[in-house]
Amino acid sequence: MNASDGGPADDFAISIAWFGESDKPRREALLASRSRAASIAAEPLVEVATITRTEFDAAVAAIRSRGPELREGRPAMDLDGYAAVVDDGGAVHHARLGFDAGTAGHLEAIAAALEPDHRGPVDAVLDQVRALVGGG
């Protein structure tokens, strides 16, 4: 997958969410193009930021730079960890971010790829990960 060669310029999103069993609710980050963000209904524990194509490409590069492989399709629901789901014009890939101290490093890299005022959703997930497993 090459994000910069992906779908239409305003049809992309990255979702960072928990996939697996959980005894408590987990935060979710949704980083979306303007057109995608406009259609997202508000949900508790899901924070949304509207990002540019440049930020999207930088966030995908940040995911790759930390080592998780982008695999085709969505992650299995029994992953028991966080994953980043990259949807570029309908081409969907995912990267396992895990659920350990290293997960914080992945999230920090993704947040650093975004404009400061767009980092809130990733920072919310990062705060929860740090509280539960440490890291960062």
Whole-angstrom distance, CA of residue 53 vs CA of residue 135:
29
Query: Rounded to the nearest 10 degrees, what angle do helices 101-112 and 120-133 cross at?
Result: 170
Stretch 94-119: mean pLDDT: 95
Stretch 29-57: mean pLDDT: 92
Question: Which residues are bridge partners to 46 per DSSP?
Answer: 28
Stretch 70-75: mean pLDDT: 94
Per residue in 88-104, pLDDT (tens digit) is 999 999 999 999 989 99
**What pTM did the predictor assign?**
0.89
Q: For residue 8, what pLDDT is reported?
A: 64
Name the nearest CA neighbour of 125 among 114, 88, 92: 114
